Structure 1
Amino acid sequence: MDDQERIEREGLACELVNNSTEPPAGVFCPGTFDTWACWPHTRAGETASAPCPAFVPGFSPELFAHKECMANGSWWLHPDTGRPWSNYTTCVKPEDDMTSIIAVFEAGYSISLVALLLSLGILFYFRSLRCARITVHMNLFASFALNNALWLAWYGFVVASADTVAANPAWCRALNATLQYALLTNYTWMLCEGVYLHTVLVSAFVSERRLLRALLAVGWLLPLPSAIVNAWRRTAAGDEICWADEGAPPLELAVIVCVAVLLNLAFLCNIVRVLCTKLRAGGGAGPSRPSATALHALRATCLLAPLLGLQYLLTPFRPQRTASWYLLYEYSAALTTSLQGLCVAILYCFCNGEVLAQLRRRWRVLTFRPRANSTTNTTVSVHCLGRLQFVRSAAPGAGEEKV
């Protein structure tokens, strides 16, 4: 059952209950349904209470929300929106507060965003580094940076404001739709990284220009239909709370994510297989050769795993809040997800040999200052030696040894 069906069903039930209930004597606020909870007729100057909705992420249904009836018989209006407001801030248990986990997400996304922007600046500055491989890396960095910036905006403007979630304005729904698109581009560009590495390694005679054009289209355009379908479905269903939910991801989003991660897993297995085959074919048979091959394969796996997003295989299913390892899962997911951008920036930019060589070369150019005195002395000496040779050659008996 979608939100629109729930609102219609609960709205009719609330209306029936209030119509069958005798209102209090005197001035009172009429019973109403605010799409989350049903509020009864309430005497002026009193505060009504209702069970917290169970479908809202983070709310505990055993707690109660509140709604204040003013002395003139109208529900209290929020000063920012000018609309009747219900207090749902009491629906979160202190031990269920996700503030610390959100803080981990915000810190990780902020650090990753700075690293990604710095990496993009370095790669844009040194044009000599431009090639198909670096271009794919730059697009992946841009996708991560866009996703991280949107998540920070989501936490700062939506999650931190209960009024915004309750009001469900159009801009927060648009932000959610854009965020879903950016999140999908992360997976498609990780898939592009896997396709590029696998193609270059397995197919030596491939046009990198054509391959790069195809990857640009896949990375940025493939997620667009899924994001549009998801936004259209939520709009048609009348979903509220800024389209934020903790349920299973919809099919139109989950398909791309699952396909990208599983394909990258297959690519990684074949890349490691080809790498081990080439290492064995390189000669040097001996007792230490198998262990060296295994070490190279392990190193390649560790380096490629964050680039291909394979760490998401460790956290495919989210446990219930009542599970004993729920908080461990949340903190692990927060760290691995938010710091992935930092990890790929370090591995494929800050620790890249070509990038480091360009930075060292640029540093030597900026810090090299020739000594003026040494240059002047050298110039003067050269001129003096030339003049002396000219004088000797012009003098009578030049070249004759004198006793």
Structure 2
Amino acid sequence: MNPNEEEDRVACALANNQTAPPPGVYCEGTFDQWRCWPPTPANSTAYAACPDFVPGFRPELWAHKECTATGTWWTHPETGRPWSNYTTCVKPEDDVSEIIAVYEAGYSVSLVALLLSLGILFYFKSLRCARITVHMNLFASFAANNALWLAWYGLVVRAPDTLEASPGWCRALNATLQYALLTNYTWMLCEGVYLHTVLVSAFVSERRLLRALLAAGWLLPVPPAALNAARRAAADDPLCWMDEGAPRPELAVLVCVAVLLNLGFLCNIVRVLCTKLRAGGGPAGAQRPSATALHALRATCLLAPLLGLQYLLTPFRPPRTASWWLAYEYVSALSTSLQGLCVAVLYCFCNGEVLAQLRRRWRVLTFRPRANSTTNTTVSFVRSAAPGAAEDKV
């Protein structure tokens, strides 16, 4: 999105009003949200420098817009709207297909791990509790986000015609993707809220707490995602709303609040745990810390990487001209796409309760008692006793 769209629109209208139109048939000067196009004679092409605020565009290259013989700007056959050609703003060597492939591979691995984790937790009914339910919703949030990203890359990013036409379904896909991305943050916040509440509040109704977390995790992202979709629809943003410029305020506010709250929860959790451990240590360390405190400490260590702290430490994306841009993109692709795998490993595959259930189930499936052991013993006894019986008769 053009960060100075309104100013550029006004400046474009003023410049076109002050420019004498070309003789004969011509296309009226216009502004397409990114660039100002002057009045252009029919059967000719207007050129403008590529915008520098769109990631991947080279500002030293040129976009163009065709004026037809009838004095109207060329319209795209799929949308029926005037269309500016910005496809020339990307150099061939700037192809990011390999980076997209890394994202797709990472999201696929994460999605498989998350679905497997959800299947395990659904299968073992004995694991059901408020804490596991929060984990399952976190898994579902990441799984939905990963599946939507795979659909986005496959149906939109790898389909230039769809991207240029910007049909309604791909804009709806983008809006749903933004919502799913926000749920990752809200459910990471719910993880922090649950652990903090259980440790700090001695008496709390887990049922009420779980209901509140379910509502917050899935409903808090709805207003900012809807506002973002409404603003982009009103602005009629092109390219399926794909631009990755500066974070939009309606989305960034929820993300920043969730990350900062989780940071505060983590600091207070560590403080409470340290206080409990010191209180339970005894004067000479004779009294060991309680199992509950140690379990909470381990849960905190597992939760820390998922509280969103890595987003506070991630630097701003460098320009493509930077020497370390490609390395940054690969690191970003791996760390982002494999988050779901980390969630599944930390909260399911490394969960002691889950591992105990899997081992118990494995023993049941692999246990094979000796076939017909009682029958074999009886037959052996009869065979060994038969000769003796014959001798008695003799």
TM-score, scaled relative to structure 1: 0.78
How has the CA–CA distance of structure 1 residues 373 and 302 changed in structure 2, closer, same or farther, with 3 Å as cutoff? same
**Equivalent AA in structure 2 for residue 144 of structure 1:** F
Structure 1 counterpart SS, 2:207: helix
How has the CA–CA distance of structure 1 residues 89 and 349 changed in structure 2, closer, same or farther, with 3 Å as cutoff? same
How has the CA–CA distance of structure 1 residues 298 and 180 changed in structure 2, closer, same or farther, with 3 Å as cutoff? same
**Equivalent AA in structure 2 for residue 249 of structure 1:** P
Q: Is the 8 A contact 2:171 2:240 kept in 1?
A: yes
Q: Is the 8 A contact 1:234 1:243 kept in 2?
A: yes
How has the CA–CA distance of structure 1 residues 285 and 155 changed in structure 2, closer, same or farther, with 3 Å as cutoff? farther
> How far apart in 2 are the matches of 1:225 and 1:76?
37
Match for residue 211 of structure 1?
A: 209
**Equivalent AA in structure 1 for residue 367 of structure 2:** F
- Deviations along 1:246-287, one digit per CA (max 9) or x if unpaired, are 22222221111111111111111122222233333234847x
Matches within 5 A, 1:232-251: 232-251=230-249
Structure 2 counterpart SS, 1:372: coil
Decide which moves more: 312-321 or 130-139: 312-321
Among the aligned pairs, what percent are the same residue? 76
RMSD: 3.6
How has the CA–CA distance of structure 1 residues 230 and 43 changed in structure 2, closer, same or farther, with 3 Å as cutoff? closer
Structure 1 gap ranges (5+): 290-294, 385-403
Aligned length: 371
Structure 1 counterpart SS, 2:136: helix
Q: Is the 8 A contact 2:13 2:30 kept in 1?
A: no
> How far apart in 1 are the matches of 2:300 and 2:131?
18
Match for residue 116 of structure 1?
A: 114
- Deviations along 1:303-328, one digit per CA (max 9) or x if unpaired, are 22223222212115334444454444
- Given the alignment, which residue of 227, 240, 250 partners 2:225? 227
Q: Deviation at 1:40? A: 7.1
**Equivalent AA in structure 1 for residue 154 of structure 2:** G
Q: Deviation at 1:239? A: 2.5
**Equivalent AA in structure 2 for residue 20 of structure 1:** P
| 1:345 paired to 2:344 | yes
> How far apart in 2 are the matches of 1:194 and 1:241?
37
Q: Is the 8 A contact 2:26 2:41 kept in 1?
A: yes
Decide which moves more: 95-104 or 364-373: 95-104
| 1:146 paired to 2:144 | yes
- Deviations along 1:10-67, one digit per CA (max 9) or x if unpaired, are 87579669972246xxxx99677582553875786x8775433434331112112456
Q: Is the 8 A contact 1:39 1:50 kept in 2?
A: no
Q: Is the 8 A contact 1:4 1:239 kept in 2?
A: no
> How far apart in 1 are the matches of 2:19 and 2:223?
44
Matches within 5 A, 1:58-97: 58-65=56-63, 87-97=85-95
How has the CA–CA distance of structure 1 residues 105 and 31 changed in structure 2, closer, same or farther, with 3 Å as cutoff? same
Q: Is the 8 A contact 1:52 1:59 kept in 2?
A: yes
Decide which moves more: 373-382 or 355-364: 373-382
Q: Is the 8 A contact 1:2 1:237 kept in 2?
A: no
Match for residue 364 of structure 1?
A: 363
**Equivalent AA in structure 2 for residue 181 of structure 1:** Y
**Equivalent AA in structure 2 for residue 331 of structure 1:** Y
Q: Deviation at 1:167? A: 2.0
**Equivalent AA in structure 1 for residue 269 of structure 2:** I
Match for residue 354 of structure 2?
A: 355
Q: Deviation at 1:2? A: 6.4
Q: Deviation at 1:350? A: 0.8
| 1:160 paired to 2:158 | yes
Match for residue 136 of structure 1?
A: 134
Decide which moves more: 192-201 or 202-211: 202-211
Match for residue 307 of structure 1?
A: 306
| 1:21 paired to 2:19 | no
How has the CA–CA distance of structure 1 residues 249 and 81 changed in structure 2, closer, same or farther, with 3 Å as cutoff? closer
> How far apart in 1 are the matches of 2:71 and 2:251?
46
Structure 2 counterpart SS, 1:61: coil
Q: Deviation at 1:299? A: 6.5
Q: Deviation at 1:379? A: 6.4
Q: Deviation at 1:334? A: 2.1
Which of the two has higher C-alpha Rg? 1
| 1:175 paired to 2:151 | no
TM-score, scaled relative to structure 2: 0.80
> How far apart in 1 are the matches of 2:367 and 2:163?
57
Structure 2 gap ranges (5+): 289-293, 383-394
